Chains A and B, each alone.
Chain A
Amino acid sequence: MSDFFLTAVLTLDASVRVCVPLIFAAMAGLFAERSGVVDIGLEGKLLMSAFVAASAASVFGSPWLGLIAGMFASTVLAMIHGFASITYKGNQIVSGVAINILASGLTMILTLAWFKRGGITPTLQGDERFLSITLPGVDIIDHIPFLGVIYRELISGHNILVYLAFAIVPVVWWVVFRTRFGLQLRAVGENPKAVDTAGLSVEGLRYKALLIGGILCGIGGAYLSTAYNAQFTKEMTAGGGFIALAALIFGKWHPYRVLAACFLFAFLQALAIRLQGVIIPGIGEIPVQLIDATPYILTIILLAGFIGKAVPPKASAQPYIKEL
């Protein structure tokens, strides 16, 4: 029993680590899509930020400088997306795909050119990366059965960006649903014309949403290369940006539901690792590929209307053209 309990806690612990970049990317996407800009470029922004953060952390020897550089790089890409799709009213999907391709090619070429290590940046040593933090009181609580294990394995021992990811979700909720800016943001995604008539700048609001998204994505990318891992490697996001997008739809553009979706998808990944090759009595071996594909399958089922309904913001993917 206690063996099973420990395994369960360790699986949840793995889910926590896996879901961090998904949370940052999904929250970034939430801001963009709530303002009416579809952000398929989350993957590219994560990747670019992961590369820039790892490079800066390695060159300057500080993960904090890496984080700032990563946030900056991701924001630059977000602004390019905004420039093409808000200012010039281009197709948001095309612009987002272009961001992904740009990030994929540019990170590869720059890593090869700058570091000459075949697509990886130098390994970050010691405190060049975000190290895990042991929370106070682990020794005391450790003696309590069950609770001790949960506190030691699940809650303590993560790096600061993990705690930040979970702390940021209520903040996002508060900003989107309890502030004036949030109200304007939601309005511009539903009915930009009404916002325009009220004398607010549709373009300005959408740019602000993308700016916040860029910063959040930047933290997610920096987590991948300077906290979770210790260097950038080619295509290291491995589709995380797309899973975040799926989580955003699955969570119906609501921060807490999106968090739950991110955690569910991360849990499935952690479970897939543990179920590989395990034979379950009566069922046999579970194909890992099926578990890996589950996030996408669930999202498709949701979109097809089998589990509730996912209704995106009404003005989503539509550039706003002012009538004169």
Chain B
Amino acid sequence: MKNTKHFGGIIKKSALAIIATAVVLTASIAQAEIKPAVVYDTAGKNDKSFNEAVFNGITKFMNDTGIAVTELEPTNEAMMEQSLKKFAQRGYSPVVAVGFTMANAVAAAAAEYPDTQFTIIDGVVDAPNVQNVVFKEHEGSFLVGVMAAMASSTGTVGFVGGMDIPLISRFECGYKQGVAHQDSSMNVLAQMTGSTPAAWGNPSKGGEITRNQVENGADVVFAAAGGTGMGVYQTAADMGVLAIGVDSNQNYIQPGTMLTSMYKKVGLAAYQSFEAAMNGTWSAGFTVNGVAEDGVGAAMDEYNADLVSAEMMASVEAARAGIVDGSIVVHDYMSDNTCPL
């Protein structure tokens, strides 16, 4: 009997201790502790492109703040939704999803876990707990269009799109405007690879389209076509013309024939999303990164230094300044699905 009483006392004491610990823990969470996670797309974090840029942004965040970010690389599309939901279920927030292919998965996970903060990079999900980080691709494409027009000696440049969707038409339209801004007499040959997702991974067809454009006079070809672009860059190198990369700095892929790349600073976007969550300023809705925010632009490095003249740099810089101060307005194809050219 005495023993039981004593035992009951222990339970009471430990219960108190547990409650106290819980209170302390909750308090510390409310201050600044966040539990961020990221889900890459199927290309994985070492893709030397889009995902790797996010990975670099996250690594910088971890080094700067000491907060661990949990990462996951899904190997197929079915895994995306599961992994987002799993993170939300385990209390991770914000959960960053990389790439527009994740949009459906994010929409499903956000509806199921309304208290979790989701951030989708380069995609659009209309939900009260989703932050959409989008880029003004038309502005970046405008800048590389200016460079293409200056680098061309034939008066004709090319554009190879991946799947025929409005997002890719936005690249095309911005590029055309940039070319025309520099030289209105220039001719732009623009083609799409296909109308199914297979159009993102068909380098053979990308190569054939490029060859056709080169045979019709193009000497600079801009590819916004995912894996299909590899065939574009290769064919451009084989045929001795210039190519322009996309999404991240791809100049290294074919050194000497890559004029530049239209980069999107996705790493910075991921960093800023976590930082905002940490400071309590994270908000759902749209975060738009254009030329003014240095979210998009034309990549310069040691691989294309010999191809870009000082005049080109000056023109690009002038165009950039024009876009920032509003004297140049680049039409966004996705605003009305037309290209005024």
Contacts and interface: CB of A to CB of B under 8 A. Distances in A.
25 contacts: A10-B212, A14-B212, A18-B204, A18-B208, A105-B75, A105-B76, A109-B75, A112-B75, A117-B46, A118-B46, A118-B49, A123-B253, A228-B204, A229-B207, A231-B230, A233-B201, A238-B198, A238-B204, A270-B208, A273-B209, A277-B190, A288-B192, A288-B195, A289-B195, A292-B194
A249 to B, nearest CB: 21
Contact of B202 (A112, A230, A238): A238
Given A233-B203, A235-B227, A273-B212, 12 more contacts: A105-B76, A112-B46, A117-B47, A118-B49, A119-B227, A123-B254, A224-B204, A229-B207, A229-B230, A229-B234, A238-B202, A269-B205
B234 A123 contact: yes
A273 B208 contact: yes
B86 interface: no
Interface string B28-55: 0000000000000011101111011000
Nearest to A21: B204
Interface of A: 10, 14, 17-18, 105, 108-109, 112, 116-120, 123, 224, 228-231, 233-236, 238-239, 269-270, 273-274, 276-277, 288-289, 292
A321 B281 CA distance: 71
Nearest to A20: B204
A109 B201 CA distance: 16
B174 interface: no
Contacts of A119: 42-44, 47, 227
A109 B74 CA distance: 11
B231 interface: yes
A236 B204 CA distance: 8
B191 interface: yes
Contacts of A230: 234
A235 B198 contact: yes
A117 B50 CA distance: 11
B211 interface: yes
Contacts of A269: 205, 208
Contact of B198 (A17, A109, A239): A239
Contacts of A276: 191-192
A233 B232 CA distance: 13
B212 A112 contact: no
A118 B198 contact: no
B311 interface: no
B64 interface: no
Contacts of B202: 236, 238
Contacts of B190: 277
A117 B253 CA distance: 11
A124 to B, nearest CB: 9
Nearest to A116: B46
Contact of A117 (B48, B198, B208): B48
Nearest to A292: B194
Given A123-B254, A229-B230, A118 B191 contact: no
Nearest to A7: B215
Contacts of B203: 229, 231, 233, 236
Nearest to A129: B234
Q: Most B CB atoms within 10 A — which of A17, A109, A229?
A: A229
Contacts of B205: 238, 269, 273
Nearest to A287: B195
A112 B44 contact: yes
A273 B230 contact: no
Task: List 7 tightest A-B contacts by C-beta distance, closest first.
Answer: A118-B47, A118-B43, A116-B46, A238-B202, A233-B227, A235-B201, A229-B203
A276 B230 CA distance: 21
